[in-house]
Chain A
Amino acid sequence: MRAAVRASMAHRFPRLHVAGAPLALALSLAACNAEPPGAQAALIAKGRDIFFNETFSGNGRTCGTCHREERNFAIDAAFIATLPENDALFVAEFNPELKQNFENPRLMREFGLILENQDGFDDLPNRFNMRGVPHVLALRTSVASPQGPRTGWSGDGAPADGSLRAFATGAVIQHFTKTLNRVAGVDFRLPTDAELDALEAFQLSLGRQADLALPLPLRGTVAKRGQEIFLDDRLGKCNICHRNAGANRADRDNANFNTGVEDLPDQPARLTGEKVPRDDGFGTPGDGTFNTPPLVEAADSGPFFHNNAVATIEAAVGFYDGEAFNNSPSGKFLASIDPNGVGIELDGTQIAAVAAFLRVINALENIRQSLELLAQSEALGFFERAHAQQLLKRAVNETGDSIAVLTSGGLHPDAVAPLVEARRLAERAVDSLFFRRILAREAIQAQKRARALLIEEQK
């Protein structure tokens, strides 16, 4: 049987059918690729380990409890439904000390909402917000502002100096505590300076490191039109706040806006009858503004808005055509400077087109990340298999996302086919002892074929 497999693989991968053993080849390649990681790479690796494994002597949660890598560093109800009952996410359901005023299990399970106390801890039963989990991708491009760093849904998520580095300290206090006393050294330990450095480096390494430069030479008819609407300051007006589909109105200028999301009627969490206080956004007391998130990563990281108000990217775009937005301070101001006195007014086909554009640029980002991960895995030698497998699994996830964002929007079936092939190859590479690198290389080619169907090759 083994001989038959070997013969079959030799036929499929003639370049590996060399005299001696594939192991010898793998060994030599491992030697070639075994470059010592730089100091920054080591810091990022340390940050990754802390992010996913460090509980800070608390209730068992880690950063990765809510920011799941396999769910684009966020979490939603569908993913939550797959978790075991003893997952640390559900700590409020099995730790008696956290049964009251720590989470709302119903809203967590049904809508993926997490309880936060941005306005203080003095009145726990009445002063809290129910918020979704934002992804932590592309933080390199989306935190800086002239007024200082903006983190979290309302831009004021971090204690101390408000920086991404300090964010973990606040998160440990809010989410990792064993009891509601929240005593440092008893209910948790605070991250050390070295841990904060590593966590910051890891988070900054995730996702895009630079904004896009729109317009892109997209091939899809509807997505191309969606991009035009997105960039049209008289129609979609999206680019005014989400320049280049990022989180900034200008370079390193991330901002807060009151867009009226809290005024949406029939918000899912409130339909349950559970107590969901109005979220006042930035500051204490809040000024009603929320932070601008990047859009490139949006389509595969819903639900949308700080309160998980809508589940699809189409509904998120449609929000800006509605009364809640157009009666908000941001909507009214857009109307006041519009020649026709209109805030944002889009028809159904235009909403679908903008959403299609967002889906396609999300898929392109998934492909970019997949290519990066596949290339990294290909560069690893035989004895670095565990690391390579980790990278390949992430590439499989990213490819699954690109397939999902396109198929859910009925977009680019021509590109979906090579993406499915790329995922299949990457999955095989995960399990392959000797042909991992060749399979990864083939997956890279399939990813490139898919990309060429979404966008013209840029010179």
Chain B
Amino acid sequence: MRTLLSGAGVVIAAFCAMSYAHGQRATERYIPLGQSPGVSQKVTRIGEIAEVDESKRTVTIADPGGRWTVGITDQTRIWLDRTKLKQPNLTGSFTDLHKGRRVEVKYQDPERREVADWVKVEVARP
């Protein structure tokens, strides 16, 4: 009986805890591009937008390592980093991804590197 219940305990744990740990996105918005602890330059890439494909909802970014393309979905958070202007950072949208803008991208899945979890867009000029 005890074995059965112990096994049940494991099952309970499996059923009750479906949440996966992740970094909180709310305060992430206020962390300037490139300064996210444990994330920036480790599981993110920073570069300049080279191309935007509105129909495919993808953005191609260029950095010293080359060009790479990332998908933007409805789940992707886009933030406008206005720290250099000493203005509050804002929630942005796909239309804020302009060619030439500097961005930091965190992938949803760092292995597959297909879709962005969040994108920070640097707004350096008013």
Q: With an 8 A cutoff between CB atoms, is B124 at the interface? A: no
Q: Are B8 and A337 in contact (CB under 8 A)?
A: yes
Q: With an 8 A cutoff between CB atoms, is B109 at the interface? A: no
Q: Are A233 and B9 in contact (CB under 8 A)?
A: yes
Given contacts A117-B26, A147-B21, contact A160 B31 (CB under 8 A): yes
Interface residue range, chain B: 35 or more
Chain B 23-63, CB-CB to A under 8 Å as 1, else 0, gives: 11111111110011111101100000000000000000000
Given contacts A160-B36, A182-B88, A255-B16, contact A118 B83 (CB under 8 A): no
Give A53 Cβ to nearest chain B Cβ, in Å: 21
Given contacts A160-B28, A165-B37, A193-B37, contact A150 B21 (CB under 8 A): yes
Give B104 Cβ to nearest chain A Cβ, in Å: 12
- How many positions in chain A have a CB within 8 Å of any CB in the partner chain? 58
Q: With an 8 A cutoff between CB atoms, is A49 at the interface? A: no
Q: Are B37 and A160 in contact (CB under 8 A)?
A: yes
Give A295 Cβ to nearest chain B Cβ, in Å: 16
Given contacts A184-B32, A241-B13, A257-B16, contact A196 B21 (CB under 8 A): no
In whole angstroms, how far apart are the Cα atoms of A284 and B8 in the complex? 30
Q: Are B6 and A170 in contact (CB under 8 A)?
A: no
A174 nearest in chain B by CB position: B27
Q: Are A156 and B11 in contact (CB under 8 A)?
A: no
Q: With an 8 A cutoff between CB atoms, is A353 at the interface? A: no
Chain B 70-107, CB-CB to A under 8 Å as 1, else 0, gives: 00000000000011001111010000000000000000
Given contacts A122-B91, A258-B16, contact A283 B27 (CB under 8 A): no
* Residues on B with beta carbons closer than 8 Å to the beta carbon of A284: 25-26
Q: Are A337 and B12 in contact (CB under 8 A)?
A: yes
Point out the residue from B21, B24, B86 that lies within 8 Å of A145, measured CB to CB: B21
Q: With an 8 A cutoff between CB atoms, is A330 at the interface? A: yes
A237 nearest in chain B by CB position: B9
In whole angstroms, how far apart are the Cα atoms of A122 and B91 in the complex? 8
A-B contact pairs, 19 of them (CB 8 A): A118-B26, A120-B26, A148-B20, A156-B22, A159-B25, A160-B40, A161-B37, A161-B38, A184-B30, A186-B86, A191-B37, A196-B37, A256-B16, A282-B19, A284-B25, A284-B26, A287-B19, A330-B16, A337-B11
Binding site for A on B (CB under 8 A): 1-2, 5-6, 8-13, 15-32, 35-40, 42-43, 82-83, 86-89, 91
